Amino acid sequence: MTRQAYVNGVYVAADEATISPFDRGFLFADAVYEVTAVYGGQPIDLERHLDRLERSLKELKFGALPDRKELAEAHRKLIAANRISEGFVYTQVSRGAYGGRDFVAPDKPRLTTFLFAETKALLDVPAARNGIKVVSVADIRWGRRDIKATGLLAPVLAKTEAKAKGADDAWLVGQDGLVTEAGSANAWIVTKQGEIVTRALSHAILPGITRHALFDVLAQQGRKITERSFSIEEAQAAAEAFNTSAVALVAPVVELDGQPVGSGKPGPVTRQIQKLYYQAIGADVAKVAPWVNE
């Protein structure tokens, strides 16, 4: 089977997909992106991802939007063509190519739209079963983290530093000493009093789609989420911690800066949240993630 991708309305073999080196996404990271999880051959929360994509484009004043129905259809066609049962679809939209290099954005953009799909295990993975180790890293990103732009050098450096220190991910810490988010995820803690805490939405963090979904599933259970900031020290003293993102889903954090969080194992609240979210996306938990009940 030849892997398929999508470039500006055309489906092509992925290894033959090409974009101009003069594309502003390449020259300036003048582009936005989305990563949509796929489970059971279906895109998860696709409408919310498309909403966020459009918001990012509008915030950056692109002046044009890709056709939403065409993007949705491209997701479904790529999932089918690449036989993706579990994995993700990546979408990127840049301001386009103009044959030169000019910092000033063009008045009439010629958007470049690129999508590809990839198989990847999401639920039954070591990070979900056993948890991850995290280290704190200074947050050096630009001021509009709520826009899902492709300028990801700061997270690349943070995650690379985490790996060099024997950890799986980084938690980014602002100049105020408070956690903003993880390298590519939202950060959460569960206090010893059972309070579920994550940072409130602002320009400082990305409005995560999985984060949004957890508000829904927990509300259905009558569970409240507290939106406020917290420090590394409070997180280290918490009962539990976890990350959420489109690909990691719900990943327990069991160690932070070399210190165990809680028991040093995924805690009962995190396990319950994993179970609720897995069920919400249509997973048969007893078959694919029986460890959430341990």
Topology match between the domains 4-119 and 126-293: no
pTM: 0.96
pLDDT on residue 37:
98
pLDDT on residue 151:
97
Give the residue ranges of the chain where pLDDT is below 70.
none
Label residues 87-121 b or e (16+ Cβ within 10 Å = b).
Answer: bbbbbbbbbbbeeeeeeeeeeebebbbbbbbbeee
What residues does each domain of the chain span?
Answer: 4-119, 126-293
State the burial class of residue 21 (Cβ atoms within 10 Å of its Cβ: 0-12, 13-18, 19+). Answer: exposed
Give the HSE-up count for residue 153: Cα atoms under 13 Å, Cβ half-sphere: 5
pLDDT on residue 95:
97
pLDDT on residue 170:
98
| Cα 55 to chain centroid, rounded | 16
Q: Could you tell me the fold of the domain covering 4-119? A: D-amino Acid Aminotransferase; Chain A, domain 1 (3.30.470)
pLDDT on residue 48:
98
* 126-293 CATH: 3.20.10.10
Query: Known catalytic residue: 265?
Result: no
Determine which one of 61, 77, 148, 163 is catalytic. 148
